[in-house]
A and B are shown apart, each in its own frame.
Chain A
Amino acid sequence: MLKWVLNIVLIVFFSGCKGEKTVALDANKVFKSKGVEIPLHTFESFEPLLNIDDGKTRVINFWATWCKPCVAELPYFELINSRYPEHKVEVILVSLDLPMHVESKLIPFVKKQKIQSKVILLDDPDANSWIPKVDKDWTGSIPATIIYRDNTFRFYERSFTYNELEKELKKLL
């Protein structure tokens, strides 16, 4: 009898979850310091993030603390993140900082700037193999941004102002 109840509870629980498909990426490692957590990914563990079809629009920005134009446009991504509801738009900031700089540069930067968007580290040194998988036309310079929803995928190798970024986002809402 107890087993039956448990089974029913489990079924209800899982069917409840079904509509809200969360895709958890398996990080290869997580950097933790000063209350900031940054998961580290190879391209293999990162790639599923580019192929989620749950109706949510994802704004994925490739940046690094050493990249001035990237740092200059980060506030616009943060603004998008705070202005749009979580279930509609997700902003993911993909840092290409060197792993040896995560604790000395990246984490202090995230903490100081109070970054609210999700920050992950993409650490895959064989860039020639994965850059074309992000977009065939990407030369590898940053900032670069992907905005996608389900099967509609847009790639931008450029900097944005807030208005430009929001305009591109709205095309995919």
Chain B
Amino acid sequence: MVILLNTCYIRDVMRRIAIVGLPNTGKSEVYNHLTGDYNIVANYPLTTIEVKQKTVKIHGEKYEIIDTPGLHDLFVHSEEELFMRNFLLEERPDGIIQCIDSNRIRLSLRLTLDLIELGIPLAICLNSIDDTDLDDIGFDPNKLSGFLGIPVVDFTNDGAGAERLKNVLNNLTPSSLELSYGEEIDSIVNELEAAFPSNVPFRRLAALLLIEGDHFILEGLGLDGRDAVLAEERFQSLYRRTRSNPVRLLAKRRALLEEVILNGAGMISRTPAGKTARLFAEAARHPVFGFPILGAIIVVTYLLVVEGAGAVEGVLSGFIVDPVVERISSAVSSEFFRDFLVGPYGILTLGLFNAIVTVLPVLTAFFIMLGLLEDTGYLPNLSVLTRRVLGRIGLTGKSIMSLVLGFGCKTMATMTTRNIRSRKEKLIAIYLIAFAIPCSAQLAIDIAILGRIGVRAFLIYLFTLALVEIAAGFILNKILPDDEGEDFIQELPPIRAPKVGAIAKKTGYRLLWFLKEAVPVFVIASIVLFAAERTGILNATKRFLSPVVTGWLGLPLDIVEVLILSLARHEAAAGLLLNMVDGGALSYVQSLVAVVITTMFVPCFANIVAMCRQIGVVRGLAITLIINVSSFVLAGILNWILIAAGL
């Protein structure tokens, strides 16, 4: 019995494998293949911003596979970047898989050097191998493997690559390569290493990082006050002894080492990306051709969402909704239950049918388009085009990319602002993301609503939101105290031809998440509204808000329901609004004002939480409050302008 328990115990030992690599090197792709799970993949940096893990059994062994956000090296400058490194130092995974984009091998070698110094068992996984002809660049994975003394796997996207990776998982070892950085640096490293208490882990890495000026490493390794001071003093005296700048020397030596590794792997030349792809990339960010391309993308999206999804919806409601509603209306005699099921706030009409028949086709069309843009790598090129405009409103650095990502998911985009060093820029970015940028789901439904009343409304909507964002940014830029602004350095991913299978899969998962997360909200919301209506609470709220809603905004009182729903989920609110517009409850101007206010009003709950995490609860809530008040003021102004314009 005891023996049995023991073997069980041994069999249950779980090895933790972290997948790390530079931004946009296919970590999530590898994670998905190893775990059978699905993490969103896209052709640009910052797709994964939080650690995700799953336990799986591979060849009878138990592993925890961990997907991580992009990492350039183990050197950190700010508290924000600490997160990933502390994860590696504190959690100390049993093995690391470094993903490397085979088109840009040299770029990843700095991280490889750091990981070798870390001493954790390592394997290298070469991605995008499908796009690269290895013979062309003279690169031989076997040679690299021999040189570094660790497995190097070429990861093809057909399952065979995953199989090769699975085969090396159970015998990962640290690299056998001993790195030298020249006499001067090596002597400092050795002395520093000896100066650390012997129970401190990763001493050699710590010495290297200290030379580079990383002030967080002592704390990160858990050195307490006295030891930290001693190490720091030792370092200072060593530093003074040199007449050169060790930071620069170290960088130079690393560059040499990278060269040595490339030579060791037999790499001789580089491969240029495909000609068509390059041409498209250049056109997409060109000052003249870039804007027509952006315009064309918007037009196609509009047509797909309005016409394409509209046709599908027509078919669905003709074949499913109308007959079902008719059946139920005639079959259920009780008025209460009939209303509960298919009334104006019915659980089926407002809840399920609205979600599936009206909203789902719209989202499908939109997500296909979004997937295309993501997988080609088009989006980061927008930052090249918009940078100058955004510079005027105080967004000069990394925030530009965060703002672009806001059109995907505002919560995710808010979380990416943690990399922004300038406090001012961070605050402006967070505010603008939360304010008038519609998230992908909301944008999709907004387009569908406006499509029903005409292209002009869609253009007014785009113009209004852009104006509001620029004005808000301009004001914030003026009133917030200046600090050291950031410079703009943005890596642009290579443009790739999208793969139908990958986009279908991604769209499928997005819709699945929508069904899992948002549909219950639709249904619950319809129940809550039904209850509120029956108990009279809804009417009381409406009466209370009536001066603002009907007087200032010029909207019917029913819009209060939409605003309430906005608190839960924006696409649910937009879905309800779509339902109302379809039912002819709103005029042209009213539809426009309603769409604009629901886009600006109250960022969704997840977004508020993300804001509070980035800039503190008080500021997060203050921003929420300011946004709510301004959305009412601005939507009202829009109402009066539209009326004055005679629309």
Q: Real complex partners, A and B? A: no
